[in-house]
Structure 1
């Protein structure tokens, strides 16, 4: 499972694991130009958010941190994430601890771009191997996509 990178499309991939110091070299070697970290500072992480930023900078990767937890799940945070996806150099790698948040947020973006329904997005996400076993996240995803 470690080092599993799921390619969503030519512009976006999801790392379904918590990166360590070596992961950033891998990201750069694979040709990624940007990294978005969705882990919160409260989470236990292999590498702190500050250290990730430093590693990214060393390897000429753009770096953004948008800490997402079930406590701050909101339309505004998804809109912010989608703006970053639009403006950062591609290809972009998005990561969290398990890939669940990353997968859900990336799929919300794609679902809105492609004018899909929330149900269609969940189905496509599952087909791509993203499990959404967090009911709050699944409900939120469906509602966000259906509203946009």
Structure 2
């Protein structure tokens, strides 16, 4: 697993497998947030299978599937709600972790300084500077 810490309460990862869930729980996570639609890629672990493994491990789990490159205002709101409602710390996953990081950046915009958002994402290996500039221009 490639767990990347964004904040103390939020980390991201590429696609996880059911057998990863015990290690995720052992790492101290209390929730798993899936941002990947099922069948996006041949052979990916289905959300329902991850959800069952998470429930068996005592973790909260939620799916907010986002089609890559197509984040709607409703998607962003559903992601914000998940961040607010789910027990922390949360591990979010998608194909590479980028989508989750972008969603976190959108959700955090206005609550955190833009430079903090860019820095936290960069420390985890993601470049959201262009996204943050777009958010700033929309004002």
TM tier, smaller = 0.7 to 0.9
Mapping 1:1-148, distance limit 5 Å? 3-15=1-13, 17-44=14-41, 45-70=43-68, 72-116=70-114, 121-122=117-118, 124-131=120-127, 142-144=133-135, 147=138
SS in 1 for 2:92: strand
1:102 CA drift (Å): 1.0
> Quick one: structure 1 residues 62 and 72, their matched pair in 2 at CA, closer, same or farther if it must change by over 3 Å?
same
Runs of 4+ residues over 6 Å off in structure 1: none
> Quick one: structure 1 residues 72 and 56, their matched pair in 2 at CA, closer, same or farther if it must change by over 3 Å?
same
Counterpart for residue 135 of structure 1: none
> Quick one: structure 1 residues 41 and 142, their matched pair in 2 at CA, closer, same or farther if it must change by over 3 Å?
farther
1:128 CA drift (Å): 3.3
Higher relative contact order (CA 8 A, sep 6+): 2
Greater mean deviation of Cα atoms: 82-91 or 64-73? 64-73
Number of equivalenced pairs: 138
1:111 CA drift (Å): 3.0
RMSD: 2.4
SS in 1 for 2:7: coil
Equivalent-residue separation in structure 1 for 2:30 and 2:136 (angstroms): 27
**TM-score, normalised relative to structure 1:** 0.79
Q: Show structure 2 runs of 5+ residues with no match.
A: none
**TM-score, normalised relative to structure 2:** 0.84
1:41 CA drift (Å): 1.6
